[in-house]
Amino acid sequence: MFYDSFTHVPFIVAAPGYQGPRRTKQLVELVDIMPTFLDMAGIPIPPGTQGKSLAPYLKGQDYTPREYVVIESGEEGEPLRVSDITVRPEHPFDDRYFVWCAYREAWMGKGKSIRTLEWKLNIYANGDCELYDLVNDREELNNCFDAPTFTSIRSEFERKLLYWTMEKEDRLPLNVTVKLNYSEVKAKHA
């Protein structure tokens, strides 16, 4: 589940060049930590890094905050059945096993969430969807996903999440034969 109470992680930084204590409501993803640390240490950020360095912001330089963040969670496949659990816990506080009779009913599968300062859209593999107006419903109690009033907002966020997914998904290896064949054809016609 993508409630802010689960996903809001405080990020506290103290580093050389940091421009003093201040608090911000800017959106940050956990993948931003590594490029920020590399940038603050003067180490080049590797190509393909998903995160965005916060170093310019921390140093008081020009910085464009993220428009939105994306959160991913969940597991592939089907949830365990009680019959799948062959070893029973030795006592009620035995945390080696997750035995919860309502687990199958609560199964959401994989999910993605896109969040701005004003809105949050959650989409789960089991078909459940949520849309929250974070300005008027900070506690995320009123799911607006099916409300006709919010159809355009829902569509906008679904589109943003789709484009983000296509941009961030793993790339297939480049097809170098296309480039080679094109080079050969070009050389023959030159």
Residue 68 has pLDDT above 90, yes or no: yes
Chain segment 6-26, per-residue pLDDT in tens: 888 888 877 776 777 777 888
pLDDT at 168: 79
Structure pTM?
Answer: 0.73
Interior CA angle at 163 toward 162 and 166, to 5°?
90
Residue type at 170?
D
pLDDT at 9: 83
Q: Which of 78, 153, 70 is nearest to 112 (CA)?
A: 70
Bigger pLDDT: 9 vs 183: 9
**DSSP string over 66-90:** -S-EEEEE--SSPPPPGGG--S--S
Q: Are 73 and 79 in contact (CB under 8 A)?
A: no
CB proximity list for 72: less than 8 A, separation 6 or greater: 110, 111, 112, 113
Chain segment 118-129, per-residue pLDDT in tens: 999 999 888 889
Chain segment 133-169, per-residue pLDDT in tens: 999 999 999 999 999 999 999 999 999 999 998 887 7
Q: Which of 71, 78, 170, 146 is nearest to 114 (CA)?
A: 71
Per-residue pLDDT band for 103 (boundaries 50, 70, 90) equals low
Neighbouring CB atoms inside 10 A of 147's CB total 13
